[in-house]
A and B are shown apart, each in its own frame.
Chain A
């Protein structure tokens, strides 16, 4: 018990590591603030493209989605972070992470938005068009607002996954929460910083998990 506290919940070590962890935490927040809006916008674009009139364009969207869903995100990240510099494209760690996650998350968000758009009854579009709205106006003011509401649980679920995904950035030495924790651990030879990072993730994400599981139960119960 003594050893457990000494190694995992060491207050002295925690006090020492806290500034690093805090800096890492803010980097994680910053990363989320960049990656989530990018992913949402990219996903919406993918969903709209996958509803295009031309068949080759629709196919391109399907290929995009399947391609990036088949790649483990860490593989994509390493490829971009280590491969692109060889082409004289240096995005830096933050840029590489943002690009890799944009490609990965936009394909997931894209599938969600597509399901949402498909869940809006055809009559809605017809009614909107017959009142004189243009196709674009119909999409913007009639279809998308309803589509988004229908898939809110999935959007929250995927956003939770994206936040957890940001921990991969530690592998390409972006100083976010997990990276800071590992640095602190190797400097102090003590696991407390990693445990603390885990607790920080837990405290931030637990409300989202609760909300989600409430949504999920309601969803299946309705079916």
Chain B
């Protein structure tokens, strides 16, 4: 027991690396926030464009969404970070992770918003158009407000899953929680920094998981 505490909860090592972990904590929060923002906005924009039903454009959107859903996010991050420099495009680890996760979230969000838009009855479109609203106004004021309500529970869950992907940034040297914890571990050869990192993730994500549960019951579908 003594040994266990010494190994995983070594106070001296923890005190040494705690500032780094805190630094990583804020970077994780930053990264998660920008990913959520760009991912959801891009997803909504794609779904809105798709609702105009231009065949060629929609085909492109579907291909994009399918590719993003089929590729592991880590593969995307590594492609952006390690492969693009060979054609002269150098992205930092932060930008690669942000871009990759945003694209993944945008793809999932587009699918969810699009399903929501489809769920709004066709008559709503027709009624709105016949009162003289333009197509854009119909989308913005009639269809999307109804569609978005339907999409909140699945979107919340997906967003939570994607924000946890910020840990993948550690692989491309983004100084977020896991990266700091891992480098602390390899400097001290003691897993206490990893314990600290794990605790930091729990502090960050337990409330988020609970929020997701709450959203799920709040917007639950009564069949």
The interface of chain A, by Cβ under 8 A from chain B, is 3-4, 7-8, 66-67, 69-75, 78-79, 82-83, 86-87, 160-161, 164-168, 170-171, 178, 182, 185, 189-191, 194-195, 197-198, 201-202, 205-206, 208-210, 212-213, 216-217, 219-221, 223
Partner of A8, one of B83, B166, B195: B83
Chain B residues within an 8 Å CB radius of A82: 182, 185, 191, 194
- The answer to whether A194 touches B119 (Cβ under 8 A) is no
- The answer to whether A72 touches B72 (Cβ under 8 A) is no
The interface of chain B, by Cβ under 8 A from chain A, is 4, 7-8, 65-67, 69-76, 78-79, 82-83, 86-87, 111, 115-116, 118-119, 150, 161, 164-168, 170-171, 177-178, 181-182, 185, 190-191, 194-195, 197-198, 201-202, 205-206, 208-210, 213, 221, 223
Partner of A86, one of B7, B69, B86: B7
Partner of A216, one of B83, B111, B182, B205: B111
- The answer to whether A83 touches B191 (Cβ under 8 A) is yes
Chain B residues within an 8 Å CB radius of A170: 74
Chain B residues within an 8 Å CB radius of A171: 74, 171
Q: Which residue of B is nearest A108, CB measured? A: B161
Partner of B70, one of A4, A83, A201: A201
- The answer to whether B79 touches A178 (Cβ under 8 A) is no
Q: Which residue of A is nearest B178, CB measured? A: A75
Number of residue pairs spanning A and B whose beta carbons lie under 8 angstroms apart: 152
Q: How far is the CB of B51 from chain A (nearest CB, A)?
A: 14
**What are 9 contact pairs spanning A and B, CB under 8 A?**
A4-B87, A70-B201, A72-B165, A75-B197, A182-B78, A198-B76, A205-B71, A210-B66, A217-B115
Partner of B201, one of A75, A206, A209: A75
Partner of A74, one of B65, B71, B167: B167
Q: How far is the CB of B182 from chain A (nearest CB, A)?
A: 6
- The answer to whether A223 touches B74 (Cβ under 8 A) is no
Q: How far is the CB of B200 from chain A (nearest CB, A)?
A: 9
Give the CA-CA distance A179 to B114 in the complex, in Å.
Answer: 35
- The answer to whether A201 touches B111 (Cβ under 8 A) is no
Q: Which residue of B is nearest A3, CB measured? A: B87
Give the CA-CA distance A7 to B82 in the complex, in Å.
Answer: 12
- The answer to whether B209 touches A201 (Cβ under 8 A) is no
Give the CA-CA distance A201 to B161 in the complex, in Å.
Answer: 20
- The answer to whether B79 touches A220 (Cβ under 8 A) is no
Chain B residues within an 8 Å CB radius of A221: 115, 118-119
Using A72-B178, A205-B70 as known contacts, list a sample of 19 further A-B pairs with CB atoms less than 8 Å apart, ordered by residue number in A.
A4-B87, A8-B86, A70-B208, A71-B198, A72-B201, A72-B205, A82-B182, A87-B7, A160-B69, A166-B72, A178-B72, A194-B82, A201-B72, A202-B70, A209-B70, A212-B69, A216-B115, A223-B221, A223-B223
- The answer to whether B66 touches A75 (Cβ under 8 A) is no
Partner of A194, one of B67, B69, B75, B115: B75
Partner of B178, one of A70, A78, A178: A78
- The answer to whether B83 touches A194 (Cβ under 8 A) is yes
- The answer to whether B8 touches A86 (Cβ under 8 A) is yes
Give the CA-CA distance A220 to B83 in the complex, in Å.
Answer: 39
Chain B residues within an 8 Å CB radius of A75: 167, 177-178, 181, 197-198, 201
Q: Which residue of A is nearest B88, CB measured? A: A3
- The answer to whether A194 touches B221 (Cβ under 8 A) is no
Q: How far is the CB of B107 from chain A (nearest CB, A)?
A: 10
Q: How far is the CB of B176 from chain A (nearest CB, A)?
A: 10
Interface centre among B72, B79, B177, B195 (most CB of A within 10 A): B72
Give the CA-CA distance A167 to B111 in the complex, in Å.
Answer: 24
